[in-house]
Amino acid sequence: MAQKTTLYLDPDDYRRLKLIARRQGRPTAELVREAVAEYARRHAPPVAPTSIGAARTRRGDVSERAEELLDGLGRDG
CA distance 3 to 34: 14
Q: pLDDT tens digits for 12-66?
A: 999 999 999 999 999 999 999 999 999 999 999 887 776 666 566 677 777 788 7
Rounded to whole angstroms, how far apart are CA atoms 8 and 54? 44
Single-letter amino acid code for the residue at 45: P
C-beta contacts of 24-30 below 8 A and 24+ residues apart: none
Burial of 35 (0-12, 13-18, 19+ CB in 10 A): exposed
The pTM assigned to this predicted structure is: 0.58
